[in-house]
Structure 1
Amino acid sequence: MSTGQMHPGQHPIDDDLVRRLIAGQFPQWSGLPVERFPSGGTVNAMYRLGDSMVVRLPLVRGGAKDVAMEQEWLPHLAPRLPTAIPEVLGAGEPAEGYPWPWSVYGWLAGELPEAGALSEPVLLAKDLAEFVAAMQSITLPGAPQAHRGGPVSSLDAETRAAIEELRGIPQEDVDCDAAAAAWEDALRTPDWDGPSVWLHADLMPGNLLVDGGRLTSVIDFGCTGVGDPACDLFPAWNLLPADAREVFREALGVDDATWNRGRGRTLSQALIALPYYRRTNPAMAYNARHVIRAVLGES
């Protein structure tokens, strides 16, 4: 859960605003209780609506396009996937001083997995591989480009800037020389030259739900679209221990170049997230530190 404002231009959202939005646009649900749901998410605020729904509202302008993305594509993706994903029950419009579109979804039960505390890591690795493979097998016309789905080099400037910023934060104890070397290695890896594939493109632990250690749901498709399959290898380093990581790779049949790009992309995301969220989002900062240790531990 956030401990402060994460982003410039973040819109204030509270229970009363959500109640007014629901009452004005979905009066059939206006009598249901509304309660903020603590989340480590960085783009949306989440509110439970009764027992069976959740309201998701962008915190910043950049999140508004993700709402439209999900409303358009989730109904097409859901029947093609082996794992439950959010169902859009209501498409909200700007109102009550709130400036962006928002959504009501069906509630998906489950717990967030935590790196280092998985009860069934190998089985979870197989579940994740099944989901990723199913995403990659989808063929739908008019697919958007996934966020982060382009070449690894498109992340270079921001990644290098983050490494330099981390050099100035000694309390984080990041081996910045090793991080820079690992990033250089990723940049030397050949780009993906095959067809673009469907991706979730943000398979962070906070976007996965488990029960009994097994994957039950995948949420937050705001980054979805087509691109380099390496983009969906994030769980290998942000969640899975080394043995399960290999199970994940083998189940997907990932070649060396794609694996190296996936590792580099995951490291890049962590290096950028750590200085940005270290004071405002403990969950994101914790996972970023885990990823950096996991990737550099392989080097």
Structure 2
Amino acid sequence: MSTGLMHPGMHPIDDDLVRRLIAAQFPQWAGLAVERFPSGGTVNAMYRLGDDMVVRLPLVEGGAADVSMEQEWLPRLASRLPVPVPEVLGAGVPAEGYPWPWSVYRWLAGENPEAGALSEPVLLAEELAGFVAAMRSITLPGAPDAYRGGPVASLDASTRAAIEELRGIPEEGVDCDAVTVVWEDALRAAAWEGPPVWLHADLMPGNLLVDGGRLTSVIDFGCLGVGDPACDLFPAWNLLPAGAREVFRESLGVDDATWRRGRGRTFSQALIALPYYRRTNQVMARNARHVIRTVLHEAEVS
């Protein structure tokens, strides 16, 4: 799924390390098979543990806080959501030279959807909207601020830096002048003035599982928290075709300003991801290219 090192400071993780961690901390599972699970994820390594579990370990220090966040909030969110989410079966601690907390989850079957290859795009759009609406309806107190929950303007410097970086990569063929126009439109969109809402805040295709084209699970809640509802509109541009995109929007009742902010947030994530991951994570780079094309086309025809 990737080549080279995605990030500086990545900790080496292999099958033997995972076996040692399991044997020392969860001896009841020590005899189970351990096998690396290929993933386009950027923050965690995943290992199948037997037939029914998965071990998830941060690759970098920045992912360590996400582990504690999921361990605290997933048990409280699960019953409030319309599809299964990861169930924490074991909370691992640093050991065997591995420096961060880690988790064992129940295995959730399914496959990641791929933009341009959806068998039931309209039904998937409706189910994704149902998940987003369910997240927004949660009223649990004490929520953290979502990782991507702040104002769009907070993304301006990093987005413009990425656009300039892409100008220096002509082989990617990105029309950076057109990109800048769309980005500046997002900056002009009216800010969210309502109360912050609960968000998954990282609804990438790699964090969705489908079976027969239908949504079966949502995973990786490391960015969760409260913030601008535009933050959970990512699937509109990173996954859904135009017709299903409109179904998604209508199902959620998204106003024009929130739509523009959501498009801008998704665009920003893709613009930053493409130069960063183009050599190390082809899954992320391919989706970033898709988002850039999709957003530019939508802006052109709107």
Shorter-chain TM-score: what band? over 0.9
Match of 2:96 in 1: 96
Question: Shift of residue 187 of structure 1?
Answer: 0.3
1:124 and 2:143 matched: no
Q: Distance in 1 between matches of 2:180 and 2:95?
A: 46
Residues 142-153 of structure 1 aligned to structure 2 (within 5 Å): 142-153=142-153
- Structure 1 counterpart of 2:152, one-letter code: V
Large movers: runs of 4+ above 4 Å = none
Residues 168-187 of structure 1 aligned to structure 2 (within 5 Å): 168-187=168-187
Q: Deviations over 1:158-194 (max 9, x none)?
A: 0000000000000100111111110000000111110
Question: Shift of residue 97 of structure 1?
Answer: 0.3
Secondary structure class of the residue paired with 2:20: helix
- Structure 1 counterpart of 2:82, one-letter code: P
Q: Distance in 1 between matches of 2:90 and 2:111?
A: 24
Q: Over the residues paired in the alignment, what is the CA RMSD in angstroms?
A: 0.4
Q: Distance in 2 between matches of 1:239 and 1:226?
A: 23
Q: Deviations over 1:23-51 (max 9, x none)?
A: 00000000000000000000000000000
Question: Shift of residue 2 of structure 1?
Answer: 1.6
Match of 2:79 in 1: 79
- Structure 1 counterpart of 2:141, one-letter code: P
Match of 2:232 in 1: 232
Secondary structure class of the residue paired with 2:31: coil
- Structure 2 counterpart of 1:216, one-letter code: T
Match of 2:138 in 1: 138
Question: Shift of residue 53 of structure 1?
Answer: 0.2
Match of 2:199 in 1: 199
Q: Distance in 1 between matches of 2:43 and 2:181?
A: 30
Q: Distance in 2 between matches of 1:84 and 1:176?
A: 40
Residues 1-299 of structure 1 aligned to structure 2 (within 5 Å): 1-299=1-299
Q: Distance in 2 between matches of 1:206 and 1:136?
A: 21
Q: Distance in 1 between matches of 2:288 and 2:273?
A: 6
- Structure 1 counterpart of 2:27, one-letter code: P
Normalising by the residue count of structure 2, what TM-score does the alignment of the two structures yield?
0.99
Question: Shift of residue 3 of structure 1?
Answer: 1.2
Q: Specify every segment of 5 or more residues in structure 1 that has no aligned partner in the other structure, as ranges.
A: none
Question: Shift of residue 298 of structure 1?
Answer: 1.0
Identical residues among aligned pairs (%):
84
| Matched positions, count | 299
- Structure 1 counterpart of 2:18, one-letter code: V
Q: Distance in 2 between matches of 1:72 and 1:2?
A: 30
Q: Distance in 2 between matches of 1:41 and 1:100?
A: 18
Q: Distance in 2 between matches of 1:56 and 1:270?
A: 25
- Structure 1 counterpart of 2:241, one-letter code: P
- Structure 1 counterpart of 2:171, one-letter code: Q
Secondary structure class of the residue paired with 1:263: helix
Question: Shift of residue 4 of structure 1?
Answer: 1.5
